[in-house]
């Protein structure tokens, strides 16, 4: 990541100041796992929002069956053979997609955070922070870990400078001097990539649990205890944290991304956690069982795709290896991290290009390993990925269909924009259930922004999937 001066960043919320981990109950059902969540909102408003979400889903179900929103497109398409080839699969996908969203919503309603570890039974834990040209932000990241609630005699912070060319190493040394009993440092002689930096941490960590934390991210005080909690169950191999945007007051793009992150990193991962199959445990904050990581580290480090070494998407790749080993990946809502998001269009596009390239690669790999998952998880995951992955061809085909229809029905575009706004408004009900904030407006704005300015990202990522460029380095 390019250096970002700390003065340009929003203020993070204030932070509060090795024996084996013995778990509790090992009887485990992801669909029934629960803890004591702090209510997202008051019970009354939570019930109201749940009712509104169900009403919105009802509207989507009705439209997917009767299709009154796009009646002119449907009538026009019925008179053309090639248009029918697009329309009928699109209608079927819309119905199946609505069913998937409804299923995810039920799992999201049922989700509860896992009980956190306690100061008495917390396992030995190592936090690995890889850094490259991060500047002063890496000090904020280390500080947030050092001041988190966790037994200090069972906490280790391992910071790896991956050959930075700025003052990152100076800030790392400052943190090491401030917390000599906690912080261990390593300076790579040259830039070798994030995987190499993380691999050094995995190979030298002393904890039973390892947490990966991006150097442009800060954790909230209870995050480490929250991450350690789910490992009471031996089937859990990785735990994903909840990601928020650190610099969301910096501009419109970070504000839009914050809303998107809450929906993607809370609603989706909470529902995926319901069947023990979180597809991507994020590099911003994830905990792993170290003994498991060490079994797969060489495959992960030497991963290739179509003959090219893989240098991006290390988090999704490691998640796939955890799932392939027979372990579950789950989500812990109470483990919160705030990460710096792109504030400009160029950086946003480069981030999404990187994400989409790894998405294409790892989706193909997941289709090979999904057969190793338990039957119930396998069936749900196959349905989920089929509908999710088909959204791209359906989306682009429907855009062509709308363009074909517009000369005869010019108001179709207006209908499309209205539908985009309506569906995004329903999505914002999910956001409001997680955060009671007027920022929901930026989620609706993001729907239009992505429609007109980010539509090209996936096709470019697909045709450049072998690219090794990090793009932000």
- Over 196-224, what HEC string results? HHHHHHHHHCCCCEEEEECCCEEECCCHH
Q: Is the pLDDT of residue 38 over 60?
A: no
Look at 46-50, 199-203, 398-402, 424-428 and tell me which has the smallest mean pLDDT.
398-402
Q: pLDDT at position 78, please? A: 65
**Where residue 25 falls among pLDDT bands split at 50, 70, 90?**
very low
- Give the pLDDT band (50/70/90) at residue 121: very high
Write down the pLDDT at residue 73. 64
Mean pLDDT, rounded, for 211-239: 97
Q: Greater confidence, 404 or 104?
A: 104
Q: Is the pLDDT of residue 41 over 70?
A: no
- 14 falls in which pLDDT band (50, 70, 90)? very low
**How confident is the model over 333-351, as a mean pLDDT?**
96
Q: 63-67, 189-193, 341-345, 463-467: lowest mean pLDDT where?
A: 63-67
- Strand (E) or helix (H) holding 363: helix 345-369
**209-213 and 125-131 as β-strands: parallel, antiparallel, unpaired?**
parallel
Please compute the mean of the pLDDT values over residues 1-10 and round it to a whole number. Answer: 38
Higher pLDDT, 9 or 285: 285
> Residue 60 and residue 423: Cα distance in Å, rounded?
8
Per the CB < 8 A criterion, the answer to whether 94 and 401 are in contact is no
pLDDT at 18: 38
- Summarize pLDDT for 361-375 with one digit per residue, the tens: 999 999 999 999 999
Averaged pLDDT for residues 208-219? 97
pLDDT digits (tens, 9 = 90+) for 129-161: 999 999 999 999 999 999 999 999 999 999 999
Mean pLDDT of 191-218: 96
pLDDT tens digits, residue range 253-310? 999 999 999 988 899 999 999 999 999 999 999 999 999 999 999 999 999 999 889 9
- Say if residue 319's pLDDT is above 90: yes
Provide the pLDDT for residue 1: 42
Say if residue 30's pLDDT is above 80. Answer: no
Alpha-carbon distance 193 to 387, whole Å?
34
Percent of the chain having pLDDT more than 90? 70
Give the whole-angstrom CA distance, residue 261 versus residue 257.
Answer: 6
Average pLDDT over residues 162-177: 96
Looking at residues 323-335, what average pLDDT do you find?
97
Task: Give the dihedral sign, CA 453/455/457/460.
Answer: negative
Terminal Cα-to-Cα distance of the chain (whole angstroms): 5
CA distance linking residue 378 with residue 324, whole number of Å:
12
74-79 LR contacts (CB < 8 Å, sep 24+):
76/404, 76/405, 76/408, 76/409, 77/401, 77/405
Between 16 and 169, the more confident residue is: 169
What's residue 400's pLDDT? 82
**How many Å apart are CA 75 and CA 261, to the nearest integer?**
38
């Amino acid at each position: 990541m390019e250096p970002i001066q700390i003065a340009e960043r929003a203020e993070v919320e204030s932070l509060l100041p090795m024996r084996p981990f013995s778990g509790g109950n090992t009887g485990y059902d992801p669909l029934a796992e629960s803890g004591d969540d702090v209510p997202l909102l008051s019970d009354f408003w939570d019930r109201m929002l749940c009712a509104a979400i169900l009403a919105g889903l009802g509207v989507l179900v009705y439209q997917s069956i009767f299709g009154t929103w796009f009646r002119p497109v449907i009538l026009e398409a019925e008179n053309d053979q090639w248009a029918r080839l697009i329309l009928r699969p699109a209608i079927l996908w819309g119905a199946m997609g609505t069913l998937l969203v409804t299923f995810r919503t039920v799992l999201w309603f049922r989700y509860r955070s896992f009980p956190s570890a306690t100061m008495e039974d917390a396992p030995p834990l190592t936090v690995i922070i890889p850094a490259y040209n991060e500047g002063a932000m890496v000090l904020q990241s280390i500080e947030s870990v050092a001041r988190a609630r966790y037994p200090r005699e069972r906490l280790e912070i391992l910071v790896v400078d991956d050959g930075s060319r700025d003052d990152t190493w100076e800030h790392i040394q400052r943190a090491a001097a401030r917390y000599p009993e906690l912080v261990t440092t390593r300076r790579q002689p040259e830039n070798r990539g994030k995987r190499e930096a993380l691999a050094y941490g995995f190979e030298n960590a002393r904890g039973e649990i390892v947490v990966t934390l991006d150097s442009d991210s800060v954790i909230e005080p209870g995050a480490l205890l929250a991450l350690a909690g789910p490992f009471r169950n031996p089937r859990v191999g990785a735990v994903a944290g909840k990601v928020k945007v650190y610099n969301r007051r910096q501009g419109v793009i970070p504000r839009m991304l914050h809303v998107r992150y809450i929906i993607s990193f809370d609603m989706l991962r909470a529902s995926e956690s319901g069947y023990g199959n979180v597809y991507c445990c994020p590099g911003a904050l994830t905990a792993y069982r170290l003994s498991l990581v060490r079994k797969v580290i060489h495959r992960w480090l030497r991963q290739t795709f179509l003959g090219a070494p893989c240098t991006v998407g290390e988090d999704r790749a490691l998640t796939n290896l955890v799932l392939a080993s027979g372990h579950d990946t789950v989500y812990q809502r109470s483990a919160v991290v705030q990460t710096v998001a792109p504030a400009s269009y160029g950086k946003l596009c480069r981030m999404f290009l990187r994400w989409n390239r790894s998405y294409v690669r790892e989706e193909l790999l997941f289709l090979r390993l999904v057969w190793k998952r338990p039957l119930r998880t396998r069936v749900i995951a196959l349905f989920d990925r089929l509908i999710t992955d088909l959204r791209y061809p359906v989306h682009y085909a429907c855009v062509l269909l709308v363009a074909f229809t517009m000369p005869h029905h010019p108001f179709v575009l207006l209908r499309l924009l209205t539908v985009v706004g309506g569906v995004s408004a329903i999505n914002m009900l999910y956001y409001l259930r997680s955060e009671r904030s007027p920022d929901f407006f930026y989620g609706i704005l993001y729907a239009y922004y992505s429609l007109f300015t980010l539509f090209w990202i996936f096709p470019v990522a697909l045709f450049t999937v072998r690219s090794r460029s990090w793009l932000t380095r």
